[in-house]
Amino acid sequence: MGKMRTSDYGSTAFPLAPHYYKYKQQFIFPDVVPVLETPPRAPQVILHPVTSNPILEGNPLLQIEVEPTSENEEGHDEAEESEDDFEEMNLSLLSARSFPRKASQTSIFLQEWDIPFEQLEVGELIGKGRFGQVYHGRWHGEVAIRLIDIERDNEEQLKAFKREVMAYRQTRHENVVLFMGACMSPPHLAIITSLCKGRTLYSVVRDAKIVLDVNKTRQIAQEIVKGMGYLHAKGILHKDLKSKNVFYDNGKVVITDFGLFSISGVLQAGRREDKLRIQNGWLCHLAPEIIRQLSPDTEEDKLPFSKHSDVFALGTIWYELHAREWPFKTQPAEAIIWQMGTGMKPNLSQIGMGKEISDILLFCWAFEQEERPSFTKLMDMLEKLPKRNRRLSHPGHFWKSAEL
């Protein structure tokens, strides 16, 4: 097994980032690994509001707008839990739009999954994110209706949407949200799935009333790993695996929103201004090889997502299960980009991780993607974790017994 970088850099002296902090810096990543090249445009981070600077006019570097996170987000229902931290956007798909007729033709392979929009009963808004809005609805029973917002006259995004529907229709697994069909006739584009019960994992790990012991964190991780292993066996990448896209209900774990990143428009949103709008907490889920390729010229489907990058994101969830928060939570975005782009890691000793726990994390967070384990290997590692009645090599706070 290859050598892993396990240095802790939790004490790096970066300032805290209030919502109105403004910072400009160009990053030139060193050649940490010879096979990785410095991206053609190094990221420049701007936490808005940003005033114009004549010195920087014409600068082709990437500007990143970071949306603040509400600190009092409790997530007691799906409306609170599914909502990503974006400013209000015009995502309504209920009014007519002008789309090219050619791009609206449904493939013969998708016809059996095509649901006429008129058959749906669209209810209350229960969440919104980078790909559109989620409604509680009815179609032969309760369903979740994900209305997909794509740019007007964008045939490429429409094709990407249909490719994702093709992938969705292959999935049948207890840990993967059930796909029921899709609306594929513009202007009404939607994915219809079963309605997830319970709470997002994001909400669960931040609930101070819930104590997670090693058995519970392992069980949750195993369920995610089983679902992700299934998706990878089907040739499907998640690309946006995070605790907000995992639902937990009475011991059952369900993964949602896999594959939607390619049609999210996250990179196109500010392309005219050479800006990248990012969701708060997104960066810490991105593998170094992706962080290093963020650029105004990069399309979503051109970023180097892979099975390895999904495993890296699982590592962030594993960290979150034990630390009860994202890594680098108090760091400004430019510090996160620099640290993750160069393979730095938070100080694990501060959260009392035992060696068995941290070993799994460091495997998932390996800088060289080939050193990260497959989900099959991860399942073996999780099964070998000590049971609750056996003392870990370092007694962490998750030693305690509690049931959800």
Q: Are residues 206 and 178 in the same domain?
A: no
User: Is residue 62 domain-shared with residue 104, that is, in the same domain?
Assistant: no
Residue 58 neighbours by CB under 8 Å, 6+ apart? none
Catalytically annotated residue among 84, 149, 240, 257: 240
pLDDT at 381: 95
Q: Is 156 left (phi over 0), alpha (psi -120 to 50) or beta?
A: alpha
245/320 same-domain check = yes
What predicted TM-score, i.e. pTM, was given to this entire model?
A: 0.71
On whether both 189 and 202 belong to a single domain, the answer is: no
Say yes or no: 209 and 190 in one domain: no
CATH number for 158: 3.30.200.20
34, 134, 192, 289 from 127: Cα distances, Å: 42, 5, 14, 30
Whether 100 is covered by a domain: the verdict is: yes
Tell me, yes or no, whether 102 and 239 share the same domain. no
Nearest to 314 by CA among 144, 166, 175: 175
Domain boundary among 194, 209, 227: 194
Q: Is residue 267, in this structure, part of any structural domain at all?
A: yes
Q: Report the C-alpha gap between 45 and 61 in whole angstroms.
A: 9
For residues 19 and 67, is the Cβ–Cβ distance under 8 A?
Answer: no
- Angle 214-233/375-383 helices, nearest 10 degrees? 160
223 and 243 inside one domain: yes
CATH code where residue 318 lies: 1.10.510.10
Q: Is 93 among the domain residues?
A: yes
Does residue 66 belong to any structural domain of this protein? yes
**Domain enclosing residue 114, as ranges:** 82-194
Same-domain check for residues 218 and 361 = yes
**Of 276, 278, 303, 301, which is closest to residue 154 (Cα–Cα)?**
301
Tell me the three state secondary structure of residue 398. Answer: helix
Residues 275 and 175 in one domain: no
Q: How many domains are there within the chain?
A: 2
Cα gap 67→50, rounded to integer Å? 13
Residue 310 designated active-site: no
pLDDT, block means (10 residues), the chain with 404 residues: 45 39 48 44 40 34 51 41 39 36 49 80 81 85 84 70 77 90 83 89 94 91 97 91 93 83 51 65 92 74 88 97 92 87 87 88 96 96 78 41 39
Q: What is the structure's pLDDT at 393?
A: 45
Are the beta carbons of 231 and 311 closer than 8 angstroms?
A: no
59 within some domain = yes
Q: Which of 127, 160, 194 represents a domain boundary (last residue)?
A: 194
Q: Per the domain annotation, does 7 fall within a domain?
A: no
In a domain, 18, yes or no: no
* 231 lies in the same domain as 161: no
Q: Do 340 and 210 share a structural domain?
A: yes
Q: For residue 345, how many C-alpha atoms fall within 13 Å in the half-sphere facing its CB?
A: 22
Q: Which of 151, 172, 194 is the last residue of a domain?
A: 194
- The answer to whether position 28 is within a domain reads no
**Is 265 found in the same domain as 286?**
yes
